[in-house]
Amino acid sequence: MRAVDIIQKKRDNIVLPDDEIKFLLDSYLQGKVPDYQISAFCMAVYFNGMTAGELKTFTEVMMNSGDLIEFPGIKKFLIDKHSTGGVGDKTTISLAPVFASFNIGTAKLSGRGLGHTGGTIDKFESIPGFTFPETKDALISLVNKTGIGIMGYSDKIVPLDKKLYSLRDVTATVPSIPLIASSIMSKKLAVHADGIILDVKVGSGAFMKDIETAGKLAEAMLEIGTGFGRKVVIVLSDMDQPLGNAVGNSNEVLEAVETLSGKGPSDFTELVETLAAIGLMLKGDVPDIDGGKELVWRNLKAGKAHEHLKNFVEACGGDSSFVDDLSLKIAPDVVDVVSDNDGFVNSIETESIGKAAMILGAGRAAKDDVIDHSVGVVLMKKKGSTVKKGDVIAKVYHNNKSKLESVNMIKSAYKISGNKTEPGKIILDIIRNF
- The dihedrals phi and psi of 300, each to the nearest 5 degrees, come to -65, -45
Cα 394 to the chain's mean position, in Å?
24
| Cα–Cα distance, 41 to 48 (Å, whole number) | 10
Cα 344 to the chain's mean position, in Å?
30
| Cα–Cα distance, 237 to 263 (Å, whole number) | 21
Active-site residues: which are they?
82, 161, 168, 183, 187
Shortest CA distance to 41 belongs to which of 68, 78, 96, 3?
A: 3
Residue 316 C-beta-side C-alpha neighbours within 13 Å:
31
- The dihedrals phi and psi of 3, each to the nearest 5 degrees, come to -60, -40
| Cα–Cα distance, 379 to 391 (Å, whole number) | 12
Provide the 8-state DSSP code for 361: I
C-alpha distances (whole Å) from 25 to each of 21, 22, 35, 63, 228 are 6, 5, 11, 11, 19
| Cα–Cα distance, 180 to 81 (Å, whole number) | 17
| Cα–Cα distance, 257 to 377 (Å, whole number) | 17
| Cα–Cα distance, 327 to 325 (Å, whole number) | 5
Give SS3 for 156.
Answer: coil
| Cα–Cα distance, 416 to 419 (Å, whole number) | 8
C-alpha distances (whole Å) from 273 to each of 97, 98, 277 are 12, 9, 6
Contact (Cβ atoms closer than 8 angstroms) between residue 206 and residue 243: no
Collect all residues with Cβ–Cβ distance below 8 Å to 357 and sequence separation of at least 6: 87, 116, 118, 247, 248, 363, 375, 376, 377, 406
Strands 195-202, 77-83: pairing kind: parallel
Give SS3 for 434.
Answer: coil
